């Protein structure tokens, strides 16, 4: 299983993959602190600033493909290797179609938009991406995307947490902060902090 993106969404997807029994969970990002966070609970990691994740996945698994993959990056994706310095919105989707084995599945919680005024070109400004969909078709890949139906999973995940089957707060490095610290929390999150800030306005989280 390959998960692109080691932000809170990618890390939560990695925990979900472990919970569901994936043999190996590989997380990719270009942020070393976030990759270290993924390794802290047993994931393998790839640094996409070093190049296409395919080669690094082959070094880990012995084969350059996975059974399923998650895009936890979305339209703000950076390119791979030397292209990691700039935005390349179709990078992750094209890469996942390449590395997922025929008949596999792609989960795409990463956000794609209908309009992006700051897009890198005219196509990106209206949410059009240069996708190699023919490859996905030829490999009979399944795609699931859109707003996550969180209530569908809410009860089972709550029970998994209450019965110590998953340590999600530890995995995402949940960090309670006061309302006054919220601007700092947002700024640090924007800079790629390996933390999931949780607003704690009334001090209701005792550990805070």
Residue placing its CB nearer to ligand NAD in the complex, 11 or 22: 11
Residue placing its CB nearer to ligand NAD in the complex, 22 or 72: 72
One DSSP character per residue, 160-189 reads HHHTTS--HHHHTTEEEE-GGGHHHHHHHH
Residue placing its CB nearer to ligand NAD in the complex, 103 or 170: 170
Beta carbon of residue 163, minimum distance to ligand NAD (angstroms, whole number): 25
The CA angle 113-114-119, to the nearest 5 degrees, is: 70
Spatial distance between the Cα atoms of 96 and 105, rounded to a whole number of angstroms: 9
Q: Is 10 in contact with 77 (CB distance < 8 Å)?
A: no
Beta carbon of residue 13, minimum distance to ligand NAD (angstroms, whole number): 9
**Residue numbers at the binding site for ligand NAD (CB under 6 A):** 4-10, 28-31, 34, 48, 72-74, 77-78, 80, 91-92, 109-111, 147-148, 192
DSSP state, 87? B
Spatial distance between the Cα atoms of 92 and 135, rounded to a whole number of angstroms: 14
Beta carbon of residue 187, minimum distance to ligand NAD (angstroms, whole number): 13
Pull the structure tokens for residue 111: 């956000």
Beta carbon of residue 147, minimum distance to ligand NAD (angstroms, whole number): 4
Residue placing its CB nearer to ligand NAD in the complex, 10 or 104: 10
């Amino acid at each position: 299983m390959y998960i692109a993106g080691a932000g809170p969404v990618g890390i939560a997807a990695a925990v979900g993959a472990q919970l569901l029994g994936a043999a190996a969970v590989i997380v990719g990002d270009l942020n070393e602190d976030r990759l270290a966070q993924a390794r802290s609970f047993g994931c393998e990691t790839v640094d996409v600033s070093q190049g296409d994740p395919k080669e690094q996945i082959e070094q880990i698994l012995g084969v350059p493909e996975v059974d399923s993959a998650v895009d936890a990056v979305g339209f703000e994706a950076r390119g791979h290797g030397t292209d990691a310095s700039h935005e390349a919105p179709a990078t992750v989707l094209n890469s996942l179609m390449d590395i997922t084995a025929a008949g596999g599945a792609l989960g795409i919680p990463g956000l794609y938009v209908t309009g992006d005024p700051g897009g890198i070109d005219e196509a990106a400004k209206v949410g059009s991406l240069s996708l190699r969909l023919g490859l996905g078709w030829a490999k009979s890949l399944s795609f699931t995307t859109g707003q996550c139906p969180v209530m569908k999973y809410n009860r089972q995940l709550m029970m998994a947490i209450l019965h110590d089957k998953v340590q999600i707060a530890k995995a995402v490095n949940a960090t309670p902060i006061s309302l006054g610290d919220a601007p700092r929390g947002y700024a640090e999150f924007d800079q790629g902090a390996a933390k999931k800030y949780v607003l704690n306005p009334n001090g209701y989280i005792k550990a805070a």
